[in-house]
Amino acid sequence: MIKIVLHCLPNELDQVSWIIDQLRRSSKFIDPSNFILDFTLNVSTEDINWEESTLSKQYCIDKFNSFFQKSPYNNQHKISELQTGCNTVRRNAIRTNDETTHIIYLDTDLFFPDTILYYIEQAINEVKSKYYIITPQIFQLWDSSWDIISHPDYRNQPRENKQWLQNPYQVFEHEPTDIKLLESPYIKFGGGWFNVFSKNLLELIDIPNSLGHYGLDDTFVADASNILKSKNYDIQQFILNDIIVKEDRVYRSYNMDKFFYMNKNQDMMRNNSSINYQQELMSFKNRI
């Protein structure tokens, strides 16, 4: 069973609807009963000031729940009244004892091709490593260390071109012709870009409680995985060649922002995560 994990806030509900529409199209190519949608809507008063917001908490809960009426997957959507974040929902998925064998991290603003779940299932069937990560390709981002997971057609371009601002619909326009798995020489990925993790890898690494609700969980898993690799654990990252995903930094809707008074907690959460990061990484290295 493959579990797709997503965290959202009320102002991201339109994006969640779009994500579920994309996944519904993807279900045509696979058996959706093999997948769990573990989506969490965060309605915590620590993150949203409902008294100052225009739309009510109940409206958001009803809207969120309605999305899954059109989902053919195993729907395990949740409402969190407690403060939460992407770290929280990913941590909970790792620590839940169920039939899940793989976990996918998904962000609310991601564009992905309809066939991605089909090729992920095919890739899982091919991989022989004990612990592994499967990563689709992206548009070139930031420094050259990201080129390893960037598609050749969108690599080696001047970084001032700001690839992340390019049209995300290129994901749908791209016609894959060379789909295969490539072994990556080192572990590199970004959190919610449809990365697939063998659950046993995430159980081995975990997301420490001290990293809190938000920030650096993907970096922690990547750094810990590279530590495992250096100690000759049977771990590998595979790049799903010619299958591209992209964050939407162009058409992403911010229309719902005006209806909510959000408590700006993400910077504080990330700072708290950064404070504990090195100590947790050293603790992991010592444990291994």
CB 1 within 8 A of CB 100: yes
Q: What is the DSSP string of 39-95?
A: EEEE--TTTEETTT-SS-HHHHHHHHHHHGGG--SEE--EEE-S---HHHHHHHHHH
pLDDT tens-digit readout, 259-284: 888 877 666 666 777 888 999 999 99
Q: Is the pLDDT of residue 258 over 90?
A: no
pLDDT of residue 168: 74
Is residue 14 a contact partner of residue 258, using CB atoms and an 8 Å limit?
no
Tokens 């809507």 sit on residue: 41
- What would the pLDDT profile of 113-166 be if each residue is shown by its tens digit? 999 999 999 999 999 999 999 999 988 777 778 889 888 887 766 656 666 567
pLDDT average, residue stretch 12-37: 96
State how far the Cα of 166 lies from the Cα of 247, in Å rounded to an integer. 10
Residue 160's pLDDT is 61
Mean pLDDT of 46-61: 94
User: Are the CB atoms for 212 and 83 separated by under 8 Å?
Assistant: no
Share of the chain above pLDDT 90, in %: 72
Select, from the ranges 186-190, 225-229, 273-277, the one with the highest average predicted confidence (pLDDT).
225-229
